[in-house]
Structure 1
């Protein structure tokens, strides 16, 4: 899995790229939380859930169905999320998590289509180093992960969000 920081970055970068009128800062922050939230499933390790279980790490919480349900619950319970656009943004934020995880070079894949299909999936292209879980993050392996994410996630997100921001402001001046 990419680090929790990289998962949260994408919705924040999208908020900058699309602008406050389309994505209000509180909605971008909610998107960042939803994008990182699927990894809360690691708590299952403490309760004896195996990695390969549908309820384990990268299982149901990494599915598109779970992303839709979480975005829907937030849209029903939080006024700023009560529009189709906000729902779609929140769904995409949470769905970005398993899609990024599929690009990593470790783990057992992602149950993207759970509950219809419990198969764990990876992308054919896996350029991102998988992040160590827990204290092992603070090792040379964790540093490798951060390095790969800076080049493959952070830099492209920064370039795209700054370019969109600049384009929006140039258009507003003309």
Structure 2
């Protein structure tokens, strides 16, 4: 898995790319929580649920169904998120879905159960450049630092470039300038 900080990168990038005020602070917070929430399944280790179990790490909480349920919850709570129902569902749903997709691009683990409950198969992306993050006890180590650099290279810098590019395109004049 990428670090918990990097899972917040997708909703933060969407917020940065949007027009000022388009994504409310409560909606941004909900998106960040939705992007990080699937990793709450690490509690399964404390409950002695095997990693490969449907409710183990990277199991059900890393599925399309889980992201859809969070999107539905956001739609229901849209007024509290200071957004329309569709905007709340889309923002939170995409934020939640970004988590298993980022995990699928990591170099370790068992893959993500993206299609749970229809399939228990664990999936990886065909290209896996992001170093898998060590668990908490080893986070502040050489391996943890290598993970952070990997995430900067493969997640944060491309997202920052995409946001800057998007902002430049949005500010481009609608009509060509005359010489």
Fold match (TM-score > 0.5): yes
Within a 5 Å distance, the mapping from 1:100-115 to structure 2 comes to 100-115=102-117
Q: CA offsets per residue over residues 40-60 of structure 1, 9 Å max, x none?
A: 110111111110010010000
- Residue pair 2:74, 2:85 contacting (<8 A) in 1 also: no
Partner of 1:159: 161
- Structure 1 unmatched runs, 5+: none
State the partner residue of 1:87.
89
**Equivalent-residue separation in structure 2 for 1:24 and 1:149 (angstroms):** 27
Give me the TM-score of the superposition, normalised by structure 1: 0.92
CA distance in 2, matches of 1:47, 1:9: 29
Structure 2 equivalent of residue 67 of structure 1: 67
Which protein shows a greater Rg?
Answer: 2
Match of 2:26 in 1: 26
Distance in structure 1 (CA, Å) of the matches to 2:24 and 2:166: 16
Quick check: 1:136 aligned with 2:146? no
Across the aligned residues of Structure 1 and Structure 2, the Cα RMSD in angstroms comes to 1.7
Q: Which has the higher helix share?
A: 1
Offset, 1:85: 2.5
SS at match of 1:146: helix
What are structure 2's unaligned runs of at least 5 residues?
Answer: none
User: Retained in 1: the 8 A contact 2:78–2:88?
Assistant: no
Normalising to structure 2: TM-score of the pair? 0.90
Output one character per residue of 1:46-93: Cα deviation in whole Å (capped at 9) or x when no partner.
Answer: 111110010010000000000100121122134135421321121111
2:122 is the alignment partner of 1:120? yes
The count of residues paired between Structure 1 and Structure 2 equals 173
Residue 76 of structure 1 contacts residue 82 of structure 1 at CA under 8 Å; is this kept in 2? no
Deviates more, 1:76-85 or 1:127-136: 76-85
Structure 1 residue ranges, 4+ long, deviating more than 6 angstroms after superposition: none
